[in-house]
């Protein structure tokens, strides 16, 4: 890859070029770095590379003609041109990875009070390195170049850049070296033992926890890591999981605060990758397992009655209300059981011995037996498993009318 710095202060880059990692990368031909002085590219048709702004104002602007001349002296069809400036997109590790794939990047260091507005249409991107103001874009261009160069194949020896902060979108785990005790602070014990898996588990958990504590802004969505899953705005799921702990195979709660929940990630594979016979049998076993839970002291109510009485903070569509009305009209007998509420094949984990874990419990609670039954029937239909076969496996007398209403309700609730 080639990186060109365009600047009116080319000497700003000399210390960067002598960083050992950078010097070695250049020497080994992994990157070609060019520093071009904008002043050297003028064709003499204009006097200066900078000038005072029309309409007045403090400071000088880089001229559009000077910048365009300089750009055309270094750019070709393969170049990605980036203007460094505080109005740009925020530079991120993701962007560093994208730039590392380019053949040639040109980093243009803005200066003085900025650049003539008309120059912006000649660049591909404008990039900033943070919400603060620098006097020039040189140091910002160096930051971008360094982040990109260290990602190039062969630049980092030994250490993989994969394990670091931001590579997984979270912070790096805390690290320790000798001495094992300093000023009464000890190195965590698992790190002193040699159990690789325990160490990875520990590091991953600490990385998630540090990120929640220090940079929660990096955690925008629910995510799966190797050993854990992270849930945001999880409502009462942790309460449901705690209530279920001795009643159903559910994930373990490893961390919880008012925003984040970290759960152990189930081992084994999900039912989504199982074959037909296994899906049919397991689904029937899941329903039986759910229905055998004693609900007499279950505090989680997901019944239609509860939804209708408006205690759930869910907005229901007109269609949903119509179906609820209809269910009342046909005077459905309520048959309350423990219900998962959002069953899917990939929410059921199996191993050699059977069902190892059921996940995504946000909507679990007491509800009519037909709530999960109807969603299971729908799921199985997509797998080419007919209703009769499933109901046989469940050993169950079906109320066709009630099922029909619930099959429509699961679509809209």
**Interacting residues with ligand 6GU (CB under 6 A):** 84-86, 110, 128-130, 132-134, 136-137, 140
Q: Which is nearer to ligand 6GU, 35 or 190 (CB)?
A: 35
Q: Which residue number, 43 or 131, has a Cβ lying nearer to ligand 6GU?
A: 131
- Minimum CB separation from ligand 6GU for residue 225, in Å? 31
Least distance in Å: CB of 93 to ligand 6GU?
16
Is the link from the previous residue into 237 a cis peptide, with omega within 30 of 0? no
Nearer to ligand 6GU, 132 or 318 (CB): 132
Least Å distance between CB 73 and ligand 6GU? 22
Measured from the CB atom, is 53 or 305 closer to ligand 6GU?
53
Distance between terminal CA atoms of the chain? 53
**CB contact at 8 A, 347 and 354:** no
| Tokens coding 320 | 């949903």
381 vs 366: CA distance, rounded Å: 25
Query: Nearer to ligand 6GU by C-beta: 57 or 130?
Result: 130
Distance (Å) of CA 38 to CA 35, 67, 121, 364: 10, 7, 18, 65
CB closer to ligand 6GU out of 131 and 313: 131
Let me know: does 14 contact 7? Beta carbons within 8 Å. no
Of all residues in the shown chain, the one whose CB is closest to ligand 6GU is: 140
Cβ neighbourhood burial of 7 (10 Å; 0-12, 13-18, 19+): buried
Provide the β-strand partners of residue 32: 2
Least gap, CB of 143 to ligand 6GU (angstroms): 8
What is the crossing angle of helices 400-412 and 369-382, to 10°? 80
Cβ–Cβ < 8 Å for 367, 400: no
């Amino acid at each position: 890859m080639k990186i060109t710095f365009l600047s009116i202060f080319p000497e700003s880059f000399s210390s960067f070029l002598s960083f050992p990692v950078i010097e070695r990368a250049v020497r080994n031909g992994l990157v070609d770095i060019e520093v071009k002085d904008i002043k050297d590219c003028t064709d003499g048709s204009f006097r200066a590379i900078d000038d005072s702004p029309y309409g007045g104002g403090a400071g000088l602007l880089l001229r559009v003609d000077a910048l365009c001349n300089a750009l055309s002296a270094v750019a070709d069809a393969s170049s990605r041109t980036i203007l460094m400036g505080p109005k740009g997109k925020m530079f991120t590790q993701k962007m560093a990875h994208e730039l590392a794939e380019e053949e040639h990047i040109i980093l243009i260091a803005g200066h003085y009070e900025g650049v003539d507005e008309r120059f912006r249409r000649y660049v591909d991107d404008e990039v900033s390195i943070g919400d603060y103001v620098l006097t020039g874009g040189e140091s910002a261009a160096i930051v971008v170049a360094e982040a990109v160069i260290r990602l190039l194949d062969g630049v980092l020896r030994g250490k993989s850049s994969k394990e670091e902060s931001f590579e997984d979108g979270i912070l790096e785990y805390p690290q320790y070296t000798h001495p094992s005790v300093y000023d009464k602070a000890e190195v965590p014990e698992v790190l002193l033992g040699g159990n690789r898996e325990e160490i990875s588990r520990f590091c991953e958990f600490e990385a998630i926890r540090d990120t929640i504590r220090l940079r929660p802004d990096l955690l925008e969505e629910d995510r799966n890591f190797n050993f854990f899953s992270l849930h945001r705005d999880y409502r009462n799921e942790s309460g449901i999981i705690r209530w279920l702990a001795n009643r159903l195979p559910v994930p373990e709660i490893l961390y919880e605060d008012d925003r984040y929940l970290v759960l152990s990630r189930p081992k084994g594979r999900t039912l989504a990758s199982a074959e037909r016979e296994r899906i049919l049998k397991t689904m029937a076993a899941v329903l039986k397992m759910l229905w055998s839970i004693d609900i007499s002291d279950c505090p989680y109510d997901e019944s239609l009655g509860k939804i209708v009485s408006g205690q759930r903070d869910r907005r229901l569509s007109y269609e949903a209300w119509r179906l609820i009305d209809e269910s009342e009209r046909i005077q459905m007998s309520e048959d309350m059981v423990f219900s998962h509420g959002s069953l899917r094949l990939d929410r059921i984990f199996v191993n050699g011995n059977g069902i190892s874990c059921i996940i995504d419990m946000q909507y679990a609670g007491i509800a009519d037996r037909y709530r999960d039954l109807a969603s299971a029937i729908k799921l199985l239909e997509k797998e080419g498993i007919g209703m009769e076969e499933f109901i046989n496996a469940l050993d169950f007398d079906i109320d066709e009318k009630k099922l029909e209403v619930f099959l429509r309700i699961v679509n809209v609730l």
